[in-house]
């Protein structure tokens, strides 16, 4: 009898522990570091954020590993880029999570790219063109104006999912927008000398950045999106640069630096590593640092030696 009682007590305790998170912070799983940072800005102590990837990882090439399945299982809200960036792994996470709240179409499923105007939407999708995304280029986070737009939608979503704290989210969102808009104006002004500067990119990952700052992309090191740069293609790019010179070659923190360095050396142009997302460089500690550092690195690369 006492064993039964003890078992019941233990079961009760377990249930209490399991029920406890109902009053705890909103559990958010962000697919990429930039959205993790944004949720943190908008939610502060109200949210408990886990980030699925780091700035050192290629967001296309992630596997649905056990730790991510476990985090999806417990999430109240999943915040991802969308636009097929996570097409290889997010659907698997959602399927295996057994979590009804975060399935596509539910309030707990937020895709940032749904709220911004996408660029490079292909007229037709054919894999002979490489790993093109039918929904358009998914790397929307390289333009801070997109972050601002997404922040509005995300704040609304946080209020919807965690209605009890809606007022606090609204307040935090207003405060963030004020700070962010001022920062965007500052970055735009600082980056004015970059307008019209010709560059080479390693991956077609910066179309929004270029759109924002008026930078001109003259060549790409990957022969097709998602296809690793080959020696032959690098030679072609080098030949292209003889006719249309570029000021610098840009690659992201998570990418192999060797193709960019090879081109930099052979074409005699600056090689610029940009953080691409929060955590990509020491300076990119948060969203503000991300663009402080990106703009600073681009300006340094563009300045004549």
Partner 1 sequence: MDSSWRSAGLVLCLAAGSAVAQPASDTQSLRREIDAMKADYEQRIKALEQRLQAAEDAQKAQPPTAAPATAAAPGAPLPPTAIAPPPQPVPSAQASTQSLLETSLILSGQYTRTSRDPADYRIRGFSLPPDAQIGPGTRGFSLAESELALTANIDPWFRGQANIAFEPDNSVSIEEAYVQTTSLGNGLTLKAGRFFSSVGYLNSQHAHTWDFADAPLAYQAMLGTQFNDDGLQVAWLAPTDQFFEIRGELGRGRSYPGTDSNRNGAGMSAISAHTGGDIGESQSWRAGLSYLNAKATNQDLSAFDPVGNPITNSFSGSTNVWIADAVWKWAPNGNATRTNFKLQGEYLHATRDGSLVADTTGAASSGSYRQAQSGWYLQGVYQFMPRWRVGLRTERLGYGTPDYGANAGLVGLDSGSPSKQTLMVDWNPSEFSRWRVQVAQDRARPGNPDWQWTLQYQMSLGVHGAHSY
Residues at the site binding partner 1, with contacts judged by CB under 8 A: 18, 53-54, 56-58, 61-67, 69-71, 73-74, 84, 87-89, 91-92, 95-101, 103-105, 107, 114-118, 121-123, 125, 127, 130-131, 134-136, 149, 152-153, 156-157, 159-160, 163, 165-168, 170-171, 226-228, 254, 256
Cα→Cα distances 205→71, 185, 266, Å: 27, 23, 23
Q: Which two tokens stand for residue 143?
A: 């333009």
| Smallest distance from partner 1 to CB 87, Å | 5
Tell whether the torsion through CA atoms of 135, 141, 147 and 150 is positive or negative. Answer: positive
Judged by CB, which is closer to partner 1: 53, or 269? Answer: 53
Question: Other CB atoms closer than 10 Å to residue 285's CB: what's the count?
Answer: 15
Judged by CB, which is closer to partner 1: 103, or 181? Answer: 103
Closest CA to 153 of 108, 118, 111, 185: 111
| Smallest distance from partner 1 to CB 185, Å | 19
* Ramachandran quadrant class, 78 (left: phi over 0; alpha: psi -120 to 50; beta: rest): beta
- Between CA 150 and CA 35 the distance in angstroms is 9
- Between CA 118 and CA 87 the distance in angstroms is 17
- Between CA 63 and CA 195 the distance in angstroms is 38
Judged by CB, which is closer to partner 1: 56, or 296? Answer: 56
Judged by CB, which is closer to partner 1: 125, or 192? Answer: 125
Judged by CB, which is closer to partner 1: 278, or 295? Answer: 278
CB 281 within 8 A of CB 293: yes
Judged by CB, which is closer to partner 1: 186, or 285? Answer: 285
Looking at 65-188, which runs of residues are DSSP E strands? 77-80, 109-111
| Smallest distance from partner 1 to CB 96, Å | 7
| Smallest distance from partner 1 to CB 17, Å | 10
- Dmax over CA atoms of the chain, in Å, equals 89
Is 175 strand, coil or helix?
Answer: helix
| Smallest distance from partner 1 to CB 7, Å | 19
**Complete edge-to-edge strand list for the sheet that includes strand 77-80:** 47-51, 26-30, 77-80, 109-111
| Smallest distance from partner 1 to CB 135, Å | 6
| Smallest distance from partner 1 to CB 225, Å | 10
What lies within 8 Å, CB to CB, of 148 at 6+ separation is: 177, 180, 181, 184
Judged by CB, which is closer to partner 1: 168, or 240? Answer: 168
Judged by CB, which is closer to partner 1: 83, or 295? Answer: 83
| Smallest distance from partner 1 to CB 88, Å | 4
| Smallest distance from partner 1 to CB 22, Å | 12
Judged by CB, which is closer to partner 1: 252, or 292? Answer: 252
- Between CA 135 and CA 208 the distance in angstroms is 14
């Amino acid at each position: 009898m006492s064993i039964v009682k003890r078992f019941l007590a233990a079961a009760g305790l377990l249930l209490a522990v399991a029920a406890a998170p109902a009053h705890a912070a909103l559990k958010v799983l962000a697919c990429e570091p930039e959205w993790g940072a944004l949720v943190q800005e908008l939610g502060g102590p109200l949210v408990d954020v886990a980030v699925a990837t780091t700035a050192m990882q290629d967001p296309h090439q992630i596997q649905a590993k056990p730790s991510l399945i476990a985090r999806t299982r417990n999430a109240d809200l999943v915040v991802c880029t969308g636009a097929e960036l996570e097409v290889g792994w997010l659907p698997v996470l959602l399927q295996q999570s057994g979590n009804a709240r975060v399935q596509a179409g539910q309030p707990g499923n937020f895709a940032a790219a749904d709220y911004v105007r996408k660029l490079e939407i292909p007229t037709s999708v054919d894999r002979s063109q490489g790993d093109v995304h039918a929904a358009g280029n998914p790397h929307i986070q390289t333009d801070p104006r997109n972050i601002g737009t997404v922040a509005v939608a995300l704040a609304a979503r946080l209020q919807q999912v965690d209605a009890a704290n809606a007022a606090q989210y609204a307040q935090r969102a207003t405060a963030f927008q004020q700070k962010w808009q001022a920062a965007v104006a500052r970055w735009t002004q600082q980056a004015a000398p970059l307008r019209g500067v010709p560059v080479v990119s390693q991956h077609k990952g910066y179309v929004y950045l270029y759109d924002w700052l008026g930078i001109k992309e003259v060549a790409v090191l990957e022969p097709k999106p998602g296809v690793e740069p080959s020696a032959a293609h690098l030679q072609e790019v080098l030949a292209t640069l003889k006719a249309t010179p570029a000021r610098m070659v840009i690659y992201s923190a998570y990418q192999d630096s060797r193709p960019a360095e090879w081109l930099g050396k052979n074409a005699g142009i600056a090689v610029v590593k940009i953080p691409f997302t929060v955590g990509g460089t020491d300076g990119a500690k948060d969203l503000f640092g991300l663009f402080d550092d990106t703009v600073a690195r681009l300006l340094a690369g563009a300045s004549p030696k």
